[in-house]
Structure 1
């Protein structure tokens, strides 16, 4: 005869008060229904930041080859190509984790809705992640409840965060040629429209080097044949509305990218601190690291450097050369040789 089990009334009361495990099948169906008309671009808006962070933490912390599927499986389930996944794995090593770039790549498509993220997690058997993020999904749905769809079937962000060019879907239609750069509203400098430039450069510099940048820009602009100079702060109306897209267009069309290589530039380039809080008068510094990442990745793909020509102020040469520079930054000139550099750039022989 079995002994009578001693029951603690207090513990039994606690057991009865605790909810059982969630019914994830029902939860997933409800989430899919409610998020099928919300574009995943909101993950990069304040409303979806916590959801994105939890997703990144859950998936990027799973090692390759373990029982659970990881960020690479998640990317494949979302439709990323093998090339895109490899690019994230090998090229984008920095303060952001791989899942961040998987999500950033996914949201570039017009029909990238949140429900597909939930489906993908279910497909790779990461129900633990869905359970972990369920409160954040509910919070995002509530935060967007009052937002309209702006005449479409899907709620979309006003300004989409752009992924690096290598991760974006192939562009539809023809590229804009350098001859039409002004037709798109990208003016190399504040001068009369219709001006012809023999070559165009994009200056990149840290906020403490503005005086040096203005000095170099003035000399370039006074050169014959004409050199067009793009400084982001002078194009603020375009950078504010579509910063990364504007820069990508510039990088694809200018003849040279000219970083002003100083200790401040290198520190900003290597910094893991977000630049989002920078003043609106510091656009060149804000996007310095983005420009560096793009030119570094392009060099890593083909090991050719036909565009990047650095200028180092004479007084900083010894300090700058103490740093271990990426090969793409090792083609440099002294500022004291600026006349010679300008001549070569104007003739596209640099």
Structure 2
């Protein structure tokens, strides 16, 4: 009798289980519908926003989380980056170049190649994952995307803003393009049938203009893993009101001049700059470890390529020009610096003092006022 009692409510249990299953299926269907509708919400946001970095803002944190989840989730799938790139219209030649000739993360490279297009909106990336039924990826980027769109849909509680039909694409200005020359549309131009064949990296015919010293100049030097901090620093300076007209120099922004005579112009920027700012990362310290000017560097990123060369200028200036007094170099450590980085930087007195990225505004305004 005791055994039979265990099965007295068998029918009821079956009904409850079925109802629970139906609830789960309905919740799943609603979740998938919301993820499908996510495309409509971000169709006016350019992929440039994936690379917006600002450690002191919630939007900057959301953009970084979006980028990190894309890199992690797509990169965790075999050939996921190729599927994404092919679906976004990236050519097979470019995908092969990324695979065989680029050391950086392939997912990151695909996103950077795609964002060069004026109409490279985030909804196209979302649509790819919908087409591939990658709802795991969509789920991972749903929260940061919703946070980002809140800044542009203040009065919209749904996925579609009523005014989005008339809205232009939201993008970023002055975002550096650090792609290799073979993938950089600003360098490699398609030649029309009437255009003469000529080297794609032919030096500009314009003459070099010296840096005007009517305003302070900051010269950044960094390797590939310091690019987010370099972008942040340029944005910090752009927003300065009490110290206006400060110029930020990066080599990638001076490509047309540097291709003519890189070492000559780098020396000019070094001498003209008020402050040289090495961005201290693991990649930077590895690059300067031997500080041997004869070691070749094949990087297409000019700031990375000449980091060692600039460091040699720093050493010579520190030892011979100032007698081991550091009056020109002020290093910056990114906000995510680890303990190992702190241990290593103490071996480089010529890179002292250093400042946390989060304290950049306060410290560098003080440095500039002291040099004034």
Is 1:33 the counterpart of 2:35? The answer is no
Structure 1: runs of 5 or more not aligned: 65-69, 192-201, 207-234, 261-279, 300-304, 317-350
Partner of 1:158: 173
Secondary structure of 1:144 counterpart: coil
**Contact 1:118 / 1:130 at 8 angstroms: preserved in 2?**
yes
Select which of 259, 276, 281 maps to 2:275: 281
Partner of 1:122: 130
Partner of 1:88: 98
| TM-score, normalisation: structure 2 | 0.48
Secondary structure of 1:296 counterpart: coil
CA distance in 2, matches of 1:203, 1:58: 32
CA distance in 1, matches of 2:29, 2:251: 41
Partner of 2:260: 253
Partner of 1:21: 28
CA apart distance, 1:91? 3.2
**Contact 1:58 / 1:129 at 8 angstroms: preserved in 2?**
yes
| TM-score, normalisation: structure 1 | 0.51
CA distance in 1, matches of 2:43, 2:132: 19
How far does the alpha carbon of each residue in 1:2-59 deviate from its partner, in whole angstroms, 9 at most, with x for none?
A: 9742749999998898772144663355222221111111101114211111111101
Partner of 1:135: 143
Secondary structure of 1:167 counterpart: coil
CA distance in 1, matches of 2:137, 2:310: 46
Superposition CA RMSD, Å: 5.0
CA distance in 1, matches of 2:222, 2:176: 23
Partner of 1:333: none
Is 1:106 the counterpart of 2:107? The answer is no
Structure 1 residues 175 and 87: alpha-carbon distance in aligned structure 2, compared to 1, 3 A threshold: closer
CA distance in 1, matches of 2:135, 2:220: 48
Secondary structure of 2:28 counterpart: coil
**Contact 1:258 / 1:311 at 8 angstroms: preserved in 2?**
no
Is 1:50 the counterpart of 2:92? The answer is no
CA distance in 2, matches of 1:255, 1:42: 31
In the alignment of these two chains, the number of paired residues is 233
Structure 1 residues 123 and 16: alpha-carbon distance in aligned structure 2, compared to 1, 3 A threshold: closer
Partner of 2:363: none
